[in-house]
Amino acid sequence: MKERIHKDIVIIGAGMAGLTAALYCGRMNLDTLVLENGLVGGQIANAVAIENFPGFVSVSGGELIATVQKQAESFGAVIDEFDEIERVTLKATPKIIETQEKIYEADAVIIATGMNRRKLPLPEEKKFSGRGVHYCELCDGHAYDGKIIAVAGGGNAAVDAANFLTKYATKLYLIHRSELRADDFSQRRMRANDKITVMLQTDIKALRGDKKLEAVEVFDKTTGETKTLAVDGIFVNIGVEPNTKLFRDELTLSASGRIIAGEDCRTEIDGVFAAGDVREKEIRQLTTAASDGTTAALLAEKFLAKLKG
Ligand SMILES: Cc1cc2nc3c(=O)[nH]c(=O)nc-3n(C[C@H](O)[C@H](O)[C@H](O)COP(=O)(O)OP(=O)(O)OC[C@H]3O[C@@H](n4cnc5c(N)ncnc54)[C@H](O)[C@@H]3O)c2cc1C
């Protein structure tokens, strides 16, 4: 039989949003548990250099996250890695989170499970990740001032990224395997931008370079031609997968699969909050994840205070 353990608050996910929430909850003397099904850190764990987190001129993702983890643990939050959650019952009082090993009863829950970005299905992707292959134009675009880059993808995210990145790039290839799905407005803006060359029905076959990306090899499915494009970087925008499978039966999800909650991070279930990239919102950055973690923790504390009278 699994051990049953009561907690004031369970935070699901130990990325920037979850760890910030843990830091605040710990400092408010709440009995706080963070459940993480992988390694602490989330999307940022392996980022080489972060230059837009206030207080740091440049910091690696690993160092930034280790600092926030240390802060959270110093205030008593417990972080449990690798105990996979099997099911949750969020509408119950208390809320139930059942893992492979234990059953947790929590008075409040913060969901901070983030998302995964779809990667290019090429074996060299790993070698060049952060060294020419990027997934976030707002995060890494600035490093490509005066350079030649590519964007992979054909939806709104890719086309908007291409438009945005011409702030920096002198030339940009938008490469997509089929036809564009982006809305008319974004497509018109892109077509009017003479820095952008649109390459449709084109597959990316290989990434080339020594220590960093130097070129992409593409195959034009219409002409049957293979070309090598010299680029300094490629931004991959071929879709994201929000980590919300566990919550599908309990919470309303948006069309993109994220949890619907307002800027106050409150979901439709009392005492359940959604923070960070898992929440449906427009801007997904480390600062907004930290902001959500703060909001969710402070409002969860208010909820708990009311609950306990
Ligand atoms: C390569 C890269 C570079 C980036 N660089 C920057 C940058 O320079 N500046 C910037 O502001 N932003 C950057 N971003 C964006 C930034 O990383 C995200 O906005 C931020 O990490 C979101 O934090 P989060 O805590 O909401 O989610 P995540 O970072 O996605 O963390 C979610 C955590 O929850 C865990 N989890 C998922 N499902 C479960 C489950 N069922 N049970 C338990 N745990 C679960 C995951 O393992 C993960 O650890 C970058 C993103 C990428 C991919």
Query: What pLDDT does residue 48 have?
Result: 83
Buried b or exposed e, range 105-123, using 16+ CB within 10 angstroms:
bbbbbbbbbbbeeeebebe
What is the rounded distance in angstroms from the CA atom of residue 201 to the CA atom of residue 216? 15
* Whole-model pTM over 0.85: yes
Same domain, 228 and 258: no
The answer to whether residues 275 and 293 touch, using CB atoms and an 8 Å cutoff, is yes
Predicted pLDDT of residue 190: 96
- Both 99 and 152 in a single domain? no
pLDDT for res 295: 98
| Domain shared by 69 and 159, yes or no | no
pLDDT > 70: what percent of the chain?
100
**Residues of the chain above pLDDT 90, percent:** 95
Taking phi over 0 as left and psi of -120 to 50 as alpha, with beta for the rest, 247 belongs to: alpha
The reply to whether 79 and 142 lie within a common domain is no
> Does 177 share its domain with 73?
no
Number of domains the chain is built from: 2
Q: What is the DSSP letter of 266?
A: B
- Whether residue 85 is found in the same domain as residue 133: no
pLDDT for 206 beyond 90:
yes
pLDDT-derived band of residue 22, with 50, 70 and 90 as boundaries?
Answer: very high
Q: What pLDDT, in 10s, does the model give residues 33-90?
A: 999 999 899 999 888 889 999 999 999 999 999 999 999 999 999 999 988 999 999 9
**Mean pLDDT of the region 189-214:** 97
Q: Across the strands, what pairs with 35?
A: 12, 80
Mean pLDDT of the chain: 96
Domain boundary among 176, 207, 236: 236
Closest atom of ligand 1 to CA, residue 116: 30
3-state class of 243 per DSSP? coil
Whether 107 and 198 map to the same domain: the answer is no
Residue of 194, 135, 145, 183 whose CA lies nearest to 165: 145
CATH number at residue 58: 3.50.50.60
Domain span including residue 152: 119-236
Catalytic residues: 136, 139-140
Of 209, 236, 263, the one marking the end of a domain is: 236
pLDDT for residue 277 is more than 90:
yes
- Pocket lining: 50 vs ligand 1, CB cutoff 6 Å: yes
Where is the domain boundary, 199, 219, 236? 236
Query: Are 50 and 91 members of one domain?
Result: yes
Over residues 241-267, the mean pLDDT reads 96
SS3 109: strand
**201 and 289 share one domain:** no
Buried-state track 153-185, b at ≥16 Cβ within 10 A, e below 16: bbbbbbbbbbbebbebbebbbbbbbeebebeee
- Do 127 and 88 have their domain in common? no
Cα-based angle 252, 253, 254 (whole degrees, multiple of 5): 125
pLDDT category, 224, cuts 50, 70, 90?
A: very high
State the average pLDDT over residues 259-278. Answer: 98
206 and 229 together in one domain = yes
239 lines ligand 1 (CB under 6 A): no
Among residues 86, 5, 17, the alpha carbon closest in space to that of 287 is found at 17
The answer, yes or no, to whether any atom of ligand 1 lies below 6 A from the CB of 289, is yes
The answer to whether the CB of 213 is under 6 A from ligand 1 is no
If one residue of 286, 294, 295 were mutated to test the ligand 1 pocket, choosing by the most ligand atoms within 8 A of its CB, it would be 286
| pLDDT confidence of residue 83 | 87
Q: How confident is the model at residue 309 (pLDDT cuts 50, 70, 90)?
A: confident
Q: Are residues 152 and 295 in the same domain?
A: no
